[in-house]
Structure 1
Amino acid sequence: MNIVFLFSDEHAGSIMGNSGHPVVQTPHLDRLAEQSYTFDNAYCNYPICTPSRLSMLTGRYPHQIEAWDLGAIADRQYQTWGDYLARADYETVLCGRTHFNGTDRLLGFSHRLLDDLHRWRHTTGRPPRRTPDARRGSNSHVAECGPGDHEHTRYDRNVTDLAVDFLQEKAASPDNNPFLLYCGFMHPHFPLIAPPEFYALYDPDTLELPETWNEALESQHPIIRHHRWAWRNDIPPPEAVVRCALASYYALVSCLDAHIGRILEAIDTSPLRENTLVLYTSDHGEMAGHHGIWQKQCFYEPAVRVPLMARLPSGENGRVAQNVSLVDVLPTLLEVAGLEIPSDLPGDSLLRIARNQSSETTRTVFSEYHHMGMLNAGFMLKSGNYKLCHYVGNEPQLFNVDADPLENNDLAAKPEYAAKRSELETTLCAMLNPEREDIRAKENQRIRRLKSGNT
């Protein structure tokens, strides 16, 4: 079976028509979701680009592969999708955004149709500072918004053109060897400059703002306060800017949807429809003003929950409520390719989860963060409806996401939830030692800074 993997950057799981969003227009993704197993509780394993992507490609958690931050370079002792699928004689093709750091631009894949935009930015592996040289202010990424032309839009158009050409060639070819095509898009990652025809779909003045878009810094958890300061979110932008930024973000999602529609058309109007698995997801979400935060880098739902759908040629479909995460993607590909799933991978096949969800026990998913905005490591566990956010050196947060989807009611200090907090903390500490992983991350980052001359 062929595999087409569609991968966006910074698409929050709720920002899609099929997810129940009242405004965002995503007709092609909505149609794909209706034809797919759609995972309503899918999470990234690190809410920032590079560690999330390397974790997904190796099927291992970021701390297991020492992907500590945005500057992480893949450790090639850990096999990737390309390495595994080569055993099943797959042609493995990269097209577009991967965010690979270092000089290895393939990581086990056979070839590329298009490299990353600004590839030179992804070669040093230099880690970030934990405490940036920042001043109070509003995030400049939010202020840079509105209709216009941008290189991200042109790049994604190129990704789509090359992917469509590749699929048309495969559909016309007598070669029956299977292929994996990875299509990586920039959208809807900031800057929030959207093509005018998509920006025109949204009236900033009529958009509903997040309830907590101007939430007071003083009322928030210390970790969130520091996060907002580090990323210059501590002073909320003016309401007019927030409205413009939201309209732009929604427009970028709609533009992405149009690109995906072209790729789906190339599959669905050819013989490929009968033997191609289509997967769509994103590396992390986008806060989009919730709790006064823009971008990601935290464990609130808009930052860590992502869209995830898998369309099989057989037509099997349905909504899946079980918690899943991006480390479940590799086992899925291995199952489709007829390969054995290594027993030491933490994930499971999404297809097995979907087909057995009625008999599944509650699944627990994991995420972590060691990047700028947190002075010490942060870890997230979600088991059933409950989410624990564990911060080394600070008090945790605990939320019942079903009862409190906006995560306004922290249960961590409430006596009636002490048992649930203890249960999740015990589960986390059985997986890893939070303090030890924090030390490992900081030591790795210190050494890399010294080597790069960035002390």
Structure 2
Amino acid sequence: MRPPNIVVILSDEHTAAAAGWAGHPHVRTPHLDRLAAQGVAFDRAYTNSPMCVPSRLSLMAGQYVHQLGAWDNGVIPDASYRTWGHHLREAGYTSVIAGRTHFNGPDRLLGFDRRLTDDLDFWLDHSGRPPRRTAGWRRPTNSHVTEQGSGDHVHTQHDVAATDAAVEFLRDPGEEPFLLYVGYMHPHFPLVAPPEFRALYDTADVELPAVADDQHPVISLLRHGFRNDEPLTEEQIREATVCYWALISHLDHQIGRLLAAVPDDTVVIYTSDHGEMAGHQGIWQKQCFYEPAVRIPMLLRHPSLQPGRSAAHVSLIDVLPTLRHAAGMAPDTALPGLTLLEAQDRPVLSEYHAQGMVDGGFMLKSGPWKYCYYGSAHAPQVFNVDDDPLELHDLSGETALVQRLDAELRLLLDPDATDARAKSDQAARLSRG
């Protein structure tokens, strides 16, 4: 029996709550809402790193960041790196890329067979140099939030071109089963939205984000590094927020164009590399473990699945086992993830080893609990996300709870040894550069 065709759609910086199917009162995502109604929406899906390149390398290889050494946005995969393309070739699939992958370096395929369109080159790092991880590091500007409003932007042009190319491919994909990956830039900053989509939203509908009164020192340093401590006017916050919503709606429009060309019996996955804080806790971008940064959309349409919702904890490392399962391949026991077609609840892990945090950060999400470990020199953070969805009440003073969650984290990795290895690898790359 011929295995099914597969389409995977990946956006950039789409937080899980900002969608119609997720219950957002304003964000308009009719095409993704329809996909959610046709398949399973995973309400507890998480990124394995709140940063672009580490999360994407983890996603494509089905392995944790620390297993790959994918510490930061400067990492260039070596010849041992195995992606979905390598895996599904064994099942007779042709694998095709359209759009954003954020693969650094000269290899633009990394195991895939064809590329229809490529990344925007100015986003790619061809040097392999690591970021500066010092307390004095600061982003040059806070343009990630202050560059905002209606207008045309190269990100929009990129996304339209990726859709065009993917739709053209789908008109005549050939005889072999295919895996088509379509990567979008939106809703990644800058917050410059196509005028017709910006016009869908009113700044009066924006609920100003919550900020804790007494912030953790690691979060304060992160905010300082990314210039999130520079005051914004209420008008800027409201405009930035509606522009983010508008970029999501433009993304949804492109996905609607794509899905119109995809037969109903095709397996479809939609997800994002990480979320966007959008001002919550006074943070714009991601690079932390609060829910808007780490919880991501995850939708799966498969002929064998009954439509519905899943409360199982899942993460990006589960996508490759799902692709193998859908292709009729046996499970790969070397992969830490599990197939979403038989989703099982278990703790999820996220890591951050880049600028803004001098020491490595690690997040364990287990049941209602979120445990954030920042090294022995810093206090952790603990939240009951079910009871405290805005994560304003740190429970790290509850010693027994901290000890239990810390032990659970250490079943997955040794955070202190991992931090030391990350710093050593980054120092070696810096010396080579």
Q: 1:75 to 1:420 in 2, by over 3 A?
A: farther
Greater share of helix: 1
What amino acid is the match of 2:244? Y
Indicate conservation of the 8 Å contact 1:52/1:62, yes or no: yes
Is 2:381 the partner of 1:397?
A: yes
Is 2:231 the partner of 1:248?
A: no
Displacement of 1:134: 5.0
Deviations 1:222-264 (A, max 9, x none): 1100000010001331111011100110000000000000011
Is 2:102 the partner of 1:104?
A: no
Displacement of 1:443: 1.0
Is 2:356 the partner of 1:373?
A: yes
Is 2:387 the partner of 1:438?
A: no
Identity among equivalent pairs (%): 55
Q: Give the distance between the partners of 2:251 and 2:123, measured in 1 at CA.
A: 25
Query: Counterpart in 2 of 1:451?
Result: 432
Q: Give the distance between the partners of 1:138 and 1:209, measured in 2 at CA.
A: 22
Query: Counterpart in 1 of 2:296?
Result: 306
Q: Give the distance between the partners of 1:4 and 1:263, measured in 2 at CA.
A: 10
Query: Counterpart in 2 of 1:423?
Result: 404
Displacement of 1:273: 1.9
Structure 2, gaps ≥5 residues long: none
Displacement of 1:430: 2.3
What amino acid is the match of 1:324? V
Between 1:238-247 and 1:125-134, the stretch displaced more is 125-134
Q: Give the distance between the partners of 1:365 and 1:211, measured in 2 at CA.
A: 25
Deviations 1:133-187 (A, max 9, x none): 65699722211000001000011000000011111223xx5x2x20000000000
Q: What's the secondary structure of 2:264's corresponding residue? A: helix
Indicate conservation of the 8 Å contact 1:13/1:302, yes or no: yes
What amino acid is the match of 2:264? R
Matching residue within 267, 271, 284 for 1:277: 267
Q: Give the distance between the partners of 2:395 and 2:370, measured in 1 at CA.
A: 10
Q: Give the distance between the partners of 1:383 and 1:101, measured in 2 at CA.
A: 33
Query: Counterpart in 2 of 1:73?
Result: 76
Runs (4 or more) in structure 1 with deviation over 4 Å come to: 132-138
State TM-score, norm by structure 1: 0.92
Indicate conservation of the 8 Å contact 2:29/2:249, yes or no: yes
What amino acid is the match of 2:208? L
Q: Give the distance between the partners of 1:159 and 1:245, measured in 2 at CA.
A: 25
Q: Give the distance between the partners of 2:153 and 2:335, measured in 1 at CA.
A: 39
Indicate conservation of the 8 Å contact 2:16/2:22, yes or no: yes
Displacement of 1:388: 0.3
Query: Counterpart in 1 of 2:153?
Result: 150
Q: Give the distance between the partners of 1:51 and 1:324, measured in 2 at CA.
A: 17
Query: Counterpart in 2 of 1:410?
Result: 394
Displacement of 1:435: 1.3
Q: Give the distance between the partners of 1:233 and 1:244, measured in 2 at CA.
A: 16
Indicate conservation of the 8 Å contact 1:139/1:237, yes or no: no
Deviations 1:284-334 (A, max 9, x none): 000000000000000000000000000113562110001000000000000
Deviations 1:90-136 (A, max 9, x none): 00001110000111111111110011111673322211101276569
What amino acid is the match of 1:117? L
What amino acid is the match of 2:217? P
What value does the CA root-mean-square deviation take over the aligned residues? Answer: 1.6
Query: Counterpart in 2 of 1:356?
Result: none
Q: Give the distance between the partners of 2:78 and 2:273, measured in 1 at CA.
A: 19
Displacement of 1:205: 3.0
Q: Give the distance between the partners of 2:88 and 2:139, measured in 1 at CA.
A: 48
Indicate conservation of the 8 Å contact 1:230/1:373, yes or no: yes
What amino acid is the match of 1:223? V
Matching residue within 104, 114, 117 for 1:114: 117
Q: Give the distance between the partners of 1:48 and 1:226, measured in 2 at CA.
A: 17
Q: Give the distance between the partners of 2:122 and 2:166, measured in 1 at CA.
A: 19
Q: Give the distance between the partners of 1:149 and 1:140, measured in 2 at CA.
A: 17
Q: Give the distance between the partners of 2:156 and 2:138, measured in 1 at CA.
A: 31
Q: Give the distance between the partners of 2:26 and 2:207, measured in 1 at CA.
A: 9
Matches within 5 A, 1:11-26: 11-26=14-29
Matching residue within 37, 49, 62 for 2:65: 62
Matches within 5 A, 1:300-379: 300-314=290-304, 316-353=306-343, 360=344, 362-379=345-362
What amino acid is the match of 1:273? D
Indicate conservation of the 8 Å contact 2:370/2:382, yes or no: yes
What amino acid is the match of 1:266? A
Query: Counterpart in 1 of 2:96?
Result: 93
Q: Give the distance between the partners of 1:200 and 1:136, measured in 2 at CA.
A: 31
Q: 1:167 to 1:374 in 2, by over 3 A?
A: same
What amino acid is the match of 1:238? T
Between 1:66-75 and 1:120-129, the stretch displaced more is 120-129
Query: Counterpart in 1 of 2:227?
Result: 232
Q: Give the distance between the partners of 2:172 and 2:237, measured in 1 at CA.
A: 44
Q: What's the secondary structure of 1:17's corresponding residue? A: coil
Q: Give the distance between the partners of 1:162 and 1:168, measured in 2 at CA.
A: 10
Query: Counterpart in 2 of 1:51?
Result: 54
Q: Give the distance between the partners of 2:137 and 2:124, measured in 1 at CA.
A: 21
Q: Give the distance between the partners of 1:77 and 1:427, measured in 2 at CA.
A: 30
Q: Give the distance between the partners of 1:138 and 1:159, measured in 2 at CA.
A: 29
State TM-score, norm by structure 2: 0.96
Indicate conservation of the 8 Å contact 2:137/2:356, yes or no: no
